[in-house]
Amino acid sequence: MEDSDTSAILPGEEESSENNYKSRRNLCPTSVGDNVVCSKPPPYSCPLSVSVEPVLFLSMFSLALQMPLYTQYLWDRISEDLGYNGTKTGKCDNRTEPSDPLEKEVETMTAHWNLYINLGGFLISLFSATLLGSWSDHAGRRPVLILSNLGLAVQAAVYLTVLYLKLPVAWFLLGRLCSSLTGDFNATLAGCFAYVADTSDRVSRTFRVAILEACIGVAGMFASIIGGQWRRAQGYINPFWLVLATSLASALYAFLFVPESVVPDPGARLLTTKHHRAVVRLYTTPGQEGRRLRLWLYSLCFFVVVTVHFGSRDLYVLYELSAPLCWGPELIGYGSAAQHLTYLSSLAGLRALQRCMEDSWVAIVGLASNACGLVVISVANTATLMFTGYGLCFLAMTSTPVLRSKLSKLVDPSEQGALFASVACVEGLCSLVSSGVFNSLYPATLHMMKGFPFLFGAMLLFLPAGVIGTLGCQQRRGSTDSPAVS
């Protein structure tokens, strides 16, 4: 498929970018597959041609395993504290609204604690992930990957302490803050996507980014199935030991096997405002032919799409636990697996759709799939309808790799770390806003329509669809009006 993301607005920029990329590779003594080894190689070499995919896989597995578990643990602890046992004595049936006021109180408090934990964590990671991502342009990608995963391991250790000692649920906030100081999962994402941008050309970048996002989906799918079954069989403690082990394994793999993709500067300092200024310059420095405007617009689209993803994901478990669905741990695990399976189906769909349409239209198809699924989920009162909604979202994740790729192609190779640091900053804002809006909207609309937050999310997706479609039409018109270059 022809790559014309910036050719219409930046004449000659694509050729210059390719030359910069080739020059970057020529600075490096060796290459392993698509991996550019720009510094001292890691202690051991992996026999397979992989780069950061295992790092992201293990990190996401750890995150996806713990998220449904700690939400269910919050539900159980709050239910115990309030004396509610509806789901344990068979009082949860197929009524349209919960009649027990205690159930409403449990739902409300669980949603609010989710809000507090996410709010506290992402307020800190909003700055730390941005700092670490931009720092990686000078110090290298590997230190960021190692630090962020060690932080996730500390978070898992704090959660285990809460479980063993039965501490108040407020201690979960402490664990989240520890992880946020080292960038949280956002820093891992920033490092991995910047690494892929370093080691891929412009033509293959969208699909390479999609492969990286598919690793997120596969890890989430396996973690969801294992977590639901394991929690029902053995409780919460043993699964959280696996969370700790996989976080440490991810950091160890990054240290031992991942070749560096940039030339590290030995004098690069971490604690300096220079890194945040580099991110700000991306969006404030005037560019050729509207580059800055497109960065803002694509970032806005990314913000809305990811906000809907995060907001709906935060509510899925809570929505499934309560009436009229009343799912247990096994069904919740299968539901979460179906949700993460969209990463794989979106990868296959992206590959197929790229053969017949440009990336912008692929993203719009993905947004339409996401919106249809959320509408069905908003009215789901049976397991069949809920899984139908998950099925309709089978292309929901095609829009995010397209947007990441478009953003990456609008900046120079030396700015990839700063760019993906800003994307991590946007993701932090997404989590902050989605937690505040969706977790507050859910209890506020229980009396009116329980699934209204999902319907609200579907309506929000019309905004990025319109922006991406408009920019795609302008880009195509600009390409048509431009004289052909022989």
183-237: pLDDT as tens digits: 888 889 889 999 998 888 877 888 889 899 888 888 887 887 788 778 878 888 8
Q: Residue 417: its pLDDT value, please?
A: 82
Average pLDDT, the chain: 81
Range from 55-69, 74-88, 136-150 carrying the lowest mean pLDDT: 74-88
pLDDT(481) > 60: no
Q: Give residue 1's pLDDT band: very low, low, confident or very high (50, 70, 90).
A: very low
Gap between the Cα atoms of 368 and 381, Å rounded: 23
- Please give the C-alpha separations between residue 381 and each of 172, 316, 320, in angstroms, as whole numbers: 31, 13, 10
The residues pairing with 31 across neighbouring beta strands, listed in sequence order, are: 36
Most confident of the ranges 31-35, 42-46, 294-298 = 294-298
The model's confidence at residue 286, banded by pLDDT at 50, 70 and 90, is confident
Give the pLDDT of residue 41.
Answer: 59
pLDDT in tens, 384-416: 999 999 999 999 999 999 999 999 888 887 778
Q: How far apart are CA 227 and CA 173, in angstroms?
A: 21
The residues that bridge with 37 in the sheet, in sequence order, are 30
Q: Which of 278, 260, 273 is nearest to 32 (CA)?
A: 260
Distance CA 211, CA 218 (A): 10
Residue 11: is its pLDDT beyond 80? Answer: no
**pTM of this structure:** 0.76
Question: What is d(CA 246, CA 58) in angstroms, rounded to the nearest whole number?
Answer: 6
Amino acid at 272: T
pLDDT of res. 9: 38
| Single-letter residue type at 100 | D
Helices (H) and strands (E) in the chain, counts: 17, 2
The fraction of the chain above a pLDDT of 70, given in percent, is 84
Residue 455 binned pLDDT confidence (cut-offs 50, 70, 90): very high
Confidence of residue 29 (pLDDT cuts 50, 70, 90): very low
Would you give the distance in Å from CA 417 to the centre of its chain? 17
What is the rounded end-to-end Cα distance, in angstroms, of the chain?
18
Cα–Cα separations (whole angstroms), residue 168 to 44, 45, 159, 299, 366: 43, 44, 11, 38, 41
pLDDT at 272 over 50: yes
SS3 165: helix
- Residue 158 near residue 103, CB atoms below 8 Å: no
**Lowest pLDDT segment from 35-44, 75-84, 124-133, 475-484:** 35-44
pLDDT over 80 at 426, yes or no: yes
Of 56-65, 155-164, 321-330, 351-360, the one with minimum mean pLDDT is 321-330
pLDDT given for residue 80 in this prediction: 85
Which structural domains are found in the chain, ordered by start? 51-87+99-262+284-475 (1.20.1250.20)
Tokens of residue 378, six digits: 């908003």
* pLDDT band with cut points at 50, 70 and 90 for residue 90: very low
> Which range is least confidently modeled, 300-314, 448-462, 471-485?
471-485
Backbone dihedral region of 443: left (phi > 0), alpha (psi from -120 to 50 degrees) or beta?
Answer: alpha
Strands (E) in 21-77, as ranges, are 30-32, 35-37
By the 8 A CB rule, do 33 and 123 touch? no
pLDDT above 60 for 5: no
